[in-house]
Structure formats: C-alpha cells, structure tokens
C-alpha cells in the first residue's frame, strides 16, 4: 500500500489540482501531452481514441471501492463545482483506497492507495483509481476510465457516484483483469458531474 499524508505533499497536490483545472474546466479539451514513451503521433492518436471511448464506457454493476472525505470548503460564488485530482493505477488489493489510514501520519488528513505502478505484468489484476474534489456539487457524477493504444480501445468502464452533500474529496478504485494486450497505452480518466463541463486527466501504461 502506498500512503499519502496531505500535510507533507501540499505542493504536489496543488499541482495536480491545477492540472485538472487547466485540462477540463469550461471545455472538454484533451489532456496535456504525455511523455514520449509512445511517440508524439501515437500518443495523440491514443488520447483521441481514449477520449471517444469514455463516452460509451459501460457502467459497472459491482464497481469497486468508494471513499469520500468531507472537508470544510468555502468557495466564492464563481467557483467550479468540482475539480479532478488524478488518475492512478497499481496492483489490485483489498483495503485501498482509504483515508485516515497512513500509520504515523501527522494528521488524519491522508489517504492510502495501492503502490503506483504503471507496468502491468502478465496475468495481473490491476486497480484503477480516480480522485476528485467536490467543491459545491450535489447529485450524480459519472467516473469513467478508458485505456487505448492508437486506434485500439483496450478497456473502458465507468461508475456512477451519488453525492448527497458537498465539500470534500473522493477516491474511487476499480479492480480489472488484465486485457489481452501487450505494449504501451494511454489511461484516461474522466469525471462528469451534473450538467457541468467534464474534466479529464491521463497517464501512460505499459503492459508486459
């Protein structure tokens, strides 16, 4: 398990929030460019394929693990209703994601994730996690994941989350069996809450 104590990683979390804000607020523009592992042309095509696949990702009936941490948030009147934080992946295991679960952390304001590892061995079951901050939104959010390589959609899935009160952050982890694919790919996460503009973020994967 990989733990985060927010009091010690303030700047990385701010960077993640800014990234999510710049990629999604007010538009459905694609995420920023990935590392050159795929090559610029392959990465761009994979991103377009993943973004298109997100809209048709099926809603899972038995989805995964949801964690919501309520926090006092006092936004101004023009604040966006939610912000995407990050998408991550690693070996599937029980007990994560979780909050207030990092042993020795300075405060209870921390989260636990499976170890971030984007190299997926043959036969492995993998956990994919999306996180977002709920500023003012109450209602139903759709969280969607898509994995693509070039024009090929490798996997796509989604969950529906109902928020009965606003303020705080959410983590959602889904375990998936390894698809029949080897090579580099793009993992894209998308969050849509109500009628607000969706927000996306992504990372690269390598399947053994």
94 burial via Cβ count (<10 Å: 0-12, 13-18, 19+) = exposed
pLDDT (0 to 100) of residue 101 = 93
Which is it for strands 152-163 and 82-91: parallel, antiparallel or unpaired?
A: unpaired
The answer to whether 92 and 127 have CB atoms below 8 angstroms apart is yes
pLDDT band at 34 (very low <50, low <70, confident <90, very high): low
Of 4-18, 38-52, 174-188, the poorest mean pLDDT is in 4-18
Helix, strand, coil percent content, the chain, rounded in steps of 5: 15, 45, 40
The answer to whether 145 and 64 have CB atoms below 8 angstroms apart is no
Give the Cβ contact number of residue 106 at 10 Å: 11
Please state the rounded mean pLDDT for residues 195-208. Answer: 94
pLDDT in tens, 116-168: 999 999 999 999 999 999 999 999 999 999 999 999 999 999 999 999 999 99
55 burial via Cβ count (<10 Å: 0-12, 13-18, 19+) = middle
pLDDT band at 22 (very low <50, low <70, confident <90, very high): very low
pLDDT (0 to 100) of residue 78 = 79
Helix/strand/coil for 43: helix
Helix/strand/coil for 36: coil
């Amino acid at each position: 398990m990989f733990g985060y104590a927010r009091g010690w990683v303030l700047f990385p979390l701010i960077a993640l929030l800014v990234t999510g804000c710049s990629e999604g607020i007010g538009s459905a523009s694609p995420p920023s460019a990935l590392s050159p592992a795929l090559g610029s042309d392959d990465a761009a095509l994979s991103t377009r394929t993943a973004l298109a696949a997100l809209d048709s990702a099926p809603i899972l009936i038995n989805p995964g693990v949801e964690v919501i941490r309520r926090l006092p948030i006092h936004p101004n009147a023009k604040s966006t209703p939610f912000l995407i934080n990050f998408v991550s992946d690693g070996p599937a295991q029980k007990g994560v994601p979780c909050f207030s679960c990092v042993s020795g952390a300075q405060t209870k304001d921390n989260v636990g994730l499976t170890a971030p590892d984007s190299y997926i061995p043959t036969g492995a079951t993998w956990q994919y996690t999306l996180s977002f901050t709920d500023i003012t939104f109450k209602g139903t959010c759709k969280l969607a994941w898509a994995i693509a390589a070039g024009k090929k959609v490798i996997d796509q899935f989604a969950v529906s989350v109902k928020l009965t009160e606003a303020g705080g952050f959410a983590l959602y982890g889904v375990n998936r069996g390894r698809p029949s694919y080897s090579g580099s790919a793009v993992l894209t996460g998308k969050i849509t809450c109500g009628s607000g503009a969706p927000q996306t973020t992504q990372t690269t994967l390598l399947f053994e």
